[in-house]
Amino acid sequence: YSQIAACKLFDVPDIAFFETFEGVMRAVRDGFCEFGVLPIENSTAGSVNAVYDLLAQFDFHIVRSLRLKIDHNLLVKPGTKLADVREVYSHGQAIAQCAGFIESHDLHATKYPNTAMSAEMVANSERTDVAAIASRSCATLYGLEVLEPNIQDSDNNYTRFVVIGREPRVYPGANRTSLMITTANEPGALYRVLERFYALNINLIKLESRPIPGRDFEFMFYFDLDCPFGSKALDDLLDSIDDVCESFTYFGSYTEVL
């Protein structure tokens, strides 16, 4: 799915593939790739927390995002019947998005680094009781059959992918901004941040909390704001937000492609 997203986000991308999210981050950090494309949020399974944590760890920036419709398929070797399947392999997010199908067919789900590798593993396996949850394009790539199409729990299943880079880049029309904010561990700390958004008439479209590494039961917050880049409201916020928090990180302003 990341490949599909990359092809929609870039006209003629030269794509390199990595097994893990961190592998993508390292490739961008080391200059092997100019940009990385990673899933960051799903409408059914929620946020991909590992990507948020890596953004903070590598101090990277979001330069664009895409909302992609995700249709999961049960892929098997040719001739395999549903009654034969005992175990399914896929990425943890895909497994979560297809939990209803997996449970209703009494299948054992095993997490794998990504959906494409799951399809490859099934294609190369000598077992006849395994299947992969992946995109239809993986069936063509690895010589598998689509045994059951569209097995996700919700037909309204979308994943947001982000383009990440080492340096901030803002393109015309950028109207979404992502921030990470750390507040003091005291009553009213988060309220003061939210009050600042309200005072500047900035619409908050996402709020996510994540534990602060090395600090017990203390949290940092990720915010997505609906506010045009270059507007007075956003400029005033970035100039003054440190008055009401311990620290903040500006991840970037960008446009979301639908």
Catalytic residues: 159, 161
**Two structure tokens written together for 167:** 């340096």
CB atoms within 10 A of CB 219: 14
CB 41 within 8 A of CB 77: no
Task: List C-alpha distances in Å: 34 to 14, 16, 60, 169, 241.
Answer: 10, 11, 12, 12, 30
